[in-house]
Amino acid sequence: MRVVESVHGHDAFLIEFDAVSELVRETLALAKATQAS
């Protein structure tokens, strides 16, 4: 599990675009690597 630290509370995923985008990129890369093997 990954956590995005933010002063914006539980709605941070709506504001913290950079942090959430990085998590999505990592997740998609992992899924792609898993499919390739």
d(CA 18, CA 29): 17
State yes or no: pLDDT of 36 exceeds 90: no
Residue 3 lies in a domain: no
Residue 13 lies in a domain: yes
Q: What is the average pLDDT score of the chain?
A: 91
State yes or no: pLDDT of 13 exceeds 90: no
Residue 36 lies in a domain: yes
Residue 4 lies in a domain: no
When divided into structural domains, the chain yields a total of 1
Residue 21 lies in a domain: yes
Residue 18 lies in a domain: yes
The 3-state secondary structure of 6-27 reads: CCCHHHHHHCCHHHHHHHHHHH
Residue 2 lies in a domain: no
Residue 25 lies in a domain: yes
Return all residues near 19 (Cβ < 8 A) that are at least 6 apart: 4, 6, 12
16 close to 6: Cβ distance less than 8 angstroms? yes
Q: pTM of the prediction?
A: 0.69
Range of the domain at 13: 9-37
When pLDDT is averaged across residues 7-29 and rounded to a whole number, the result is 92
